Structure 1
Amino acid sequence: MQPFDTQPGIQSVISGYTGGHTENPTYAEVASHTTGHTEAVKITFDPETISYAQLVEIYWRQTDPTDASGQFQDRGDSYRPVIYVNSPAQRQAAKASKAQLAASGQFDAPIVTTIEEAQPFYPAEEEHQDFYRKNPFRYQIEEMGGRQDFIQQNWHD
């Protein structure tokens, strides 16, 4: 998932679903908002090359951390902003980063992204892997659904 898969030290990025109560859900089931799952990515990385804290910083710049009801054109609980953690060290890094972002005053609204323990992860169907590469035109249309403008307005480095 762009931009994670372009970073040095990223070994794999898998699109999928996590955090819900249905085992092995399909995209259609998750999209129905009945499984409790969120769409997510599972990132395997080399911590000698890229830190978990750096991954969290990249994450912030891809989402609207003030919108608990979804992300851009994707609405509903399955699109809520969540950072899943696998260890106390990851939890601490995510909490520190969230606190720093909240204290920065960069956003007028509160940071509502939750930090939750990682749950079983179910890879999405093959057609949903590397979506932006397989469907560049559709991905570009979705980017124009608000994400691109939001990133440009809120993350000017």
Structure 2
Amino acid sequence: MSGRQELATFAGGCFWCMVHPFDQLPGIIKVESGYTGGHLENPSYQDVKSGRSGHYEAVQITFDPDVFSYQQLLDLYWPQIDPTDDGGQFHDRGDSYRTAIFYHTKEQKTLAERSKQAVAESGRFKKPIVTKILPASIFYPAEDYHQDFYKKNPIEYKEDRKKSGRDEFIKEYWD
């Protein structure tokens, strides 16, 4: 590790399913579940899930860009989502489950826009890519029981993921 740290923030539907792909990779220091992009201060899970707060469920990744680059994070992000669905992700419906990339720097914005264009031009999808690219705003960590959910509750995590349809979509469109 070089000691440098940057943040990356991604919304991809249920944050439980967005932690595992990034966790435990070289250069990834921390992956935290939380809420961002809304208008209510210190929202609870219920505030976000109800749609009252305007927040997205998201993960915020602290990473060493000299070990794992922001581009590599983007390359890992896209195959976790359905970028054509603006009503949520898989069986999780509503604004809090929409997809977005929240950029922290101009360089991140540029890379995110390029990666979105590449996905759009890939021919992989017939519908338009609706994932938003937005400036990062305050990130509120989710309640403790949401952190590392896949590790703390492996059976519930696997069951939820299986019934969501996420894995079937990934296999069909990204594998």
When the two structures are aligned, how many residues end up with a matched partner? 156
- Structure 2: state its 5+ residue gaps: 1-18
The whole-number CA distance in structure 1 between the counterparts of 2:24 and 2:128 is 30
| Cα deviation 1:30-74 (Å, max 9, x = unaligned) | 111110000001100000011111111111011110101101111
Computed over aligned residues only, the root mean square deviation of the Cα atoms, in angstroms, reads 0.7
- Structure 2 partner of 1:82: 100
2:128 pairs with 96, 110, 114, which one? 110
TM, length-normalised to structure 1 = 0.97
- Structure 1 partner of 2:170: 151
1:142 pairs with 148, 160, 168, which one? 160
The whole-number CA distance in structure 2 between the counterparts of 1:155 and 1:63 is 9
TM, length-normalised to structure 2 = 0.87
| Residue identity matched to 1:147 | R
Q: Compute the displacement of 1:6 (Å).
A: 2.5
The whole-number CA distance in structure 2 between the counterparts of 1:74 and 1:6 is 25
Q: Compute the displacement of 1:136 (Å).
A: 1.2
- Structure 1: state its 5+ residue gaps: none
Instruction: Confirm whether residue 133 of structure 1 aligns to residue 134 of structure 2.
Output: no
Instruction: Confirm whether residue 95 of structure 1 aligns to residue 116 of structure 2.
Output: no
- Structure 2 partner of 1:34: 52
| Cα deviation 1:88-121 (Å, max 9, x = unaligned) | 1000000000001100101111110000000000
Q: Compute the displacement of 1:18 (Å).
A: 0.4
The whole-number CA distance in structure 2 between the counterparts of 1:102 and 1:69 is 18
Q: Which runs of 4+ in 1 moved over 3 A?
A: none
- Structure 1 partner of 2:7: none
| Residue identity matched to 1:148 | D
- Structure 2 partner of 1:119: 137
| Residue identity matched to 1:54 | Q
- Structure 1 partner of 2:69: 51
